[in-house]
Amino acid sequence: MLKVYNSLTRRKEEFVPIEPGKVRMYVCGMTVYDYCHLGHARVLVVFDVIVRHLRSLGYDVTYVRNITDVDDKIIDRALKRGESIQRLTARYIEAMHEDADALGVLRPDFEPRATESMSDIIHMIQALLDKGYAYQADNGDIYYSVSHFEHYGQLSGKQLEDLRSGARVEVDEAKRDPLDFVLWKSAKPGEPAWPSPWGEGRPGWHIECSAMSTECLGAHFDIHGGGMDLKFPHHENEIAQSEAATGEHFVNYWIHNGFVQVDEEKMSKSLGNFFTVREILERYQPEEVRYFILASHYRSPLNYSDDNLDKARAALQRLYTALRDSGAVDAGSVEADQEYVRRFEAAMNDDFNTPEALAVLFELVRAINRARESGSAEVCRLAATLKQLGGRLGLLQADPEAYLRGPHGAGEEGPDDAEIDRLVARRDQARADRDWAEADRIREQLEGLGIVLEDSPGGTRWRRA
RNA sequence: GGCUGGGUGGCAGAGUGGCUAUGCAGCGGAUUGCAAAUCCGUGGACCUCGGUUCGACUCCGGGCCCAGCCUCCA
């Protein structure tokens, strides 16, 4: 039985889909005006694993992840770069896809864009106007009237009064209430604009997600996800918009992932303490980044440091070492060990507890190595189990030797394989001659190049440290 | 100020009302020409103060500390 922590109720709940056997899920994606940083990578990977797990349980999942391709930041950035908005967003959308692909993130089933959803957005705004939840201000902008929505604050646990007294909301003369938020911004010169019943303009940020999710998944769907920082006001506003416009309950389960932190502080653009995915991939393999993300529970903070990435590398080396020479190449055709599968699923069914699931993988590693030492025929089956379960997390699908020998980052320079093989062969000769001094000298030389040797009865092999 | 979430061994990071997390690092042993990899064994933790209980790191309450949201942010 799958249990999910629901941000709306603040407790773990049994997951029951609206329609048996089917899951409809929406995740807030990126605003494309810059490269993905590690925080974006976390959202991508976390929800990718959630989708993979739901599918492994047999659910038919429809996964929607939007792209925000028009907003103030995009407009500013395009202006500064002297580049058209279309060119800018196209570039960053492509970059995002490259990063997501590198990290082993499966593509969502639908990836709607705000600029391609204008009629849905306009229809929803019109519905809100018709029902009295929205009004047009003197400046032409359309606002959502927060006080008209009875349940405003249910997701974030905030009272309207508390929010008002918080008083950090910028006072805008056009608004009737400082907490009202914009649905449609009337066009200013030089800005991109679309025609609407209220004149040329563009949508506010919150309305696009309401419109796109409703369009792709219906007025009522199962899961809505995103980063913690979107809980308020973005998701709160989405609920207000969608439920007011459709009259239906919007989402059953809200899932929010925790932040990536640097030195105990949130990684964010405004603080300038962020690392882009491509920067990190200069020095680490994508799978190591993915492992690093999954080594913490999705709701916990994830502290970025080289030390923690190095630990991810060490962990993957142990996993892949167990898979080496195990006959698990074609793991899918081997029946998995059901006891380990059961424990893995129990961990994942407990609110997607990936650290616990990884612990099961390491217990499999020990079982494999033990079986190997005792010459048991179980090695292949256990290794196949490890590879299958790793696959459910999007890990361990590479050729073990290729992973262990591979360079550690896209930017790494080092000796090529042929050169290493040549040195290893020379050392083998020295060892055959029992010239230990020469053998050790070559080994140290290789060590200096970041190559570790492993002698075994079957011969010497090497990997990158 | 209001609202979330959290404080676990050297580090990272799960979990449980009484029983080994797991990984890295450490220590002892096996193995090895020496290493590496691997195996076996081992030390080490539950912020603080009360309460509930036969028994709490685990449940409840107070305190302290940390992060986040209340403004764009994954």
Most confident listed range (A169-178, A321-330, A368-377): A368-377
**Are A242 and A373 part of one and the same domain?**
no
Residue A182 lies in a domain: yes
Residue of least CA–C1' distance to B38: A369
Which of A188, A236, A196, A251 is closest to A26 using CA atoms? A251
Which structure tokens are listed for A18? 């609206």
Q: Which phi and psi angles does A169 have, rounded to 5°?
A: -75, 130
**Are A447 and A377 part of one and the same domain?**
no
| pLDDT at res. A170 | 57
**Are A26 and A56 part of one and the same domain?**
yes
Nearest nucleotide, C1' to the C-alpha of A232?
B69
Average pLDDT, chain A: 93
CA A208 – C1' B4 distance (Å)?
A: 26
CATH assignment at residue A217: 3.40.50.620
User: pLDDT category, A23, cuts 50, 70, 90?
Assistant: very high
**What mean pLDDT do residues A71-77 have?**
94
Which one of A405, A440, A456 terminates a domain?
A: A405
User: pLDDT category, A405, cuts 50, 70, 90?
Assistant: very high
Task: Decide if pLDDT at A413 tops 80.
Answer: no
CA A436 – C1' B32 distance (Å)?
A: 13
Nearest nucleotide, C1' to the C-alpha of A312?
B23
Only one residue has tokens 């369009």, namely A215
| pLDDT at res. A171 | 60
Residue A411 lies in a domain: no
Which structure tokens are listed for A93? 């959308």
Query: What DSSP state is assigned to residue A173?
Result: T
Q: What percentage of residues in chain A have a pLDDT greater than 90?
A: 85
Residue A410 lies in a domain: no
Exposure b/e, A400-421, CB count within 10 A at least 16 = b: beebbeeebeeeeeeeeeeebe
**Are A48 and A132 part of one and the same domain?**
yes
Task: Decide if pLDDT at A411 tops 80.
Answer: no
Query: What total of structural domains would you count in chain A?
Result: 3
**Are A216 and A298 part of one and the same domain?**
no
Task: Decide if pLDDT at A50 tops 70.
Answer: yes
User: pLDDT category, A186, cuts 50, 70, 90?
Assistant: very high
pLDDT in tens, A252-290: 999 999 999 998 899 988 888 999 999 999 999 999 999
User: pLDDT category, A167, cuts 50, 70, 90?
Assistant: low
Q: Are A145 and A176 in contact, with CB atoms under 8 Å apart?
A: yes
Q: Which phi and psi angles does A452 have, rounded to 5°?
A: -105, 135
| pLDDT at res. A172 | 65
Which one of A236, A257, A278 terminates a domain?
A: A257
| pLDDT at res. A248 | 96
**Are A237 and A109 part of one and the same domain?**
yes
User: pLDDT category, A169, cuts 50, 70, 90?
Assistant: low
Rounded to 5°, the CA angle A148-A150-A154 comes to: 125
Which of A259, A253, A205, A251 is closest to A227 using CA atoms? A259
Which one of A226, A257, A288 terminates a domain?
A: A257
Residue A177 lies in a domain: yes
Task: Decide if pLDDT at A391 tops 90.
Answer: yes
ipTM, interface predicted TM-score of the complex? 0.95
**Are A205 and A90 part of one and the same domain?**
yes
Q: Please provide the DSSP assignment of A272-339 as one string.
A: T---BHHHHTTTS-HHHHHHHHHTS-TTS-EE--HHHHHHHHHHHHHHHHHHTTSS-TTGGGSPP-HH
**Are A135 and A252 part of one and the same domain?**
yes
Which of A161, A125, A127 is closest to A143 using CA atoms? A125
**Are A430 and A345 part of one and the same domain?**
no
**Are A185 and A317 part of one and the same domain?**
no
**Are A201 and A72 part of one and the same domain?**
yes
Residue A295 approaches strand B within 7 Å at CB? yes
CATH assignment at residue A329: 1.20.120.640
**Are A320 and A444 part of one and the same domain?**
no
Q: Which parts of A14-84 fold into alpha helices (H)?
A: 38-56, 72-81
Q: Are strands A265-266 and A302-303 parallel, antiparallel or unpaired?
A: unpaired
Task: Decide if pLDDT at A380 tops 60.
Answer: yes
Query: Which residue range(s) make up the domain with A157?
Result: 3-257
CA A99 – C1' B51 distance (Å)?
A: 52
Task: Decide if pLDDT at A311 tops 80.
Answer: yes
User: pLDDT category, A330, cuts 50, 70, 90?
Assistant: confident
Which residues of chain A (297-326) touch nucleic strand B at CB < 7 A? 297, 299-303, 307-308, 311, 314-315, 318, 321-322
Which structure tokens are listed for A61? 């999942």
**What mean pLDDT do residues A408-422 have?**
87
CA A438 – C1' B33 distance (Å)?
A: 12
CA A264 – C1' B64 distance (Å)?
A: 18
Nucleotides of B under 7 A from a protein CB: 1-5, 11-15, 21-25, 32-40, 66-74
